[in-house]
Amino acid sequence: MDKVIFITGASSGIGLHTAKLFQAKNWKVAATMRSPEKATDLARIVDIECLRLDVTDPESIRAAIAATLERFGRIDVVVNNAGYGLLGAFEAASSEQIERQFETNVLGLMSVCREILPYFREQKKGLIVNVSSVGGRMAFPVSSLYHATKWAVEGFSESLHYELEPFNIRVKLIEPGPIKTDFYDRSKELTKKEGLTVYDSFVSRAIDNMDKAGREAPDGEIVAQTIYQAVTDGTRRMRYGANTKGILKARKLLPDAIFFALIKKIILR
Ligand SMILES: NC(=O)c1ccc[n+]([C@@H]2O[C@H](COP(=O)([O-])OP(=O)(O)OC[C@H]3O[C@@H](n4cnc5c(N)ncnc54)[C@H](OP(=O)(O)O)[C@@H]3O)[C@@H](O)[C@H]2O)c1
């Protein structure tokens, strides 16, 4: 029987690569996004259904799940990929910026989980793949709010997996390092407060170095391949890195002080 994958944030980057890869592997794909009317190329590919879904709009989540079941008859895997980075000095962030960051990266992901769980329980099977980041296991400068969301996703997912295991529903986490996508470009949001300039040179040094790492990184295909491995390897392994360049291991092995010195050397040089 054909398998069906449901992906959020499939308009660009990792989500788009994941949609195309699974289609190429003969999966049926619900490629959900905020503006499906713009996805004219993707919509032309057989077995890919482009559907409107804004993770901050629960009704759009329900409608996209219903449309997928109507079109493909089942959902085997949900990939919670939609997200973006709010970067810059914490003090400069507005309440609206902070709320939107959490509403998208955390509450939105939770809403998708909450909407799919009754269906997965009834089906007695399901897999939730949450796209976190290496930034869910460590923290870089000027990204405090983004890290707060990804650390939340990590804790949420790890706890959730215990209560879903008895229902044959698995939860997995994808932890990419830098990946060349719109994350570093149109999706990026910066904190800004009128008259607050004391952080400017620190922030621009860090962001320049992170953007450079993003520009020089591989594209979303490497993460799509990792998601494919996570979905198909048949194991209970929870965490999968992609282009991590040993940093997850370094975080695990090094004492805080040495790890922090390393991060400063890389990002604040
Ligand atoms: N790139 C990296 O270096 C990196 C590393 C680790 C983790 N990640 C994570 O990977 C995921 C995908 O990011 P990406 O790198 O592929 O960047 P991207 O190309 O900017 O893609 C982000 C996607 O999220 C969507 N999105 C944003 N807000 C949304 C909302 N409210 N509802 C539905 N969709 C929404 C965007 O849709 P629109 O087209 O409508 O804006 C876009 O499709 C994110 O969770 C990110 O945190 C990225």
192 is catalytic: no
CA distances from 149 to 27, 111, 206 (A): 30, 15, 19
Q: What percentage of the chain exceeds 70 in pLDDT?
A: 100
Give yes or no for residue 136 CB within 6 A of ligand 1: no
Q: Which residues pair with 129 in a beta bridge?
A: 79, 172
Catalytic, 94? Answer: no
Residue 261: per-residue pLDDT: 98
8 A C-beta contact, residue 143 and residue 188: no
Please report, for residues 134, 245, 254, 263, the alpha-carbon distance to residue 250 in angstroms, rounded to integers and kept in the order given: 11, 10, 6, 11
Cα 82 to middle of ligand 1, angstroms: 5
**Alpha helices in the chain, H assignment, sequence order:** 13-24, 40-43, 58-72, 95-102, 109-123, 144-164, 200-215, 221-232, 247-253, 256-267
Backbone angles phi, psi at 133, to 5 degrees: 180, 160
* Local confidence band at 1 (pLDDT 50, 70, 90 cut-offs): confident
* 9 CA: nearest ligand 1 atom: 43
**Helix or strand holding residue 235 (H, E):** none
Tell me the per-residue pLDDT of 136-183, one tens digit each, with 9 for 90 and over: 999 999 999 999 999 999 999 999 999 999 999 999 999 999 999 999
| Domain count for the chain | 1
- Which residues form the domain of 85? 4-267
Give catalytic status of residue 240 as yes or no.
Answer: no
pTM for this predicted structure: 0.98
* Averaged pLDDT for residues 67-75: 98
- DSSP labels, 66-126: HHHHHHHS---EEEE-----EES-GGG--HHHHHHHHIIIIIIHHHHHHHHHHHHHHHT-E
* Ligand 1 atom nearest 176 alpha carbon: 6
Q: Which residue has the tokens 């914490």?
A: 90
CATH of the domain at 10: 3.40.50.720
Sign of CA dihedral 141, 256, 215, 201: positive
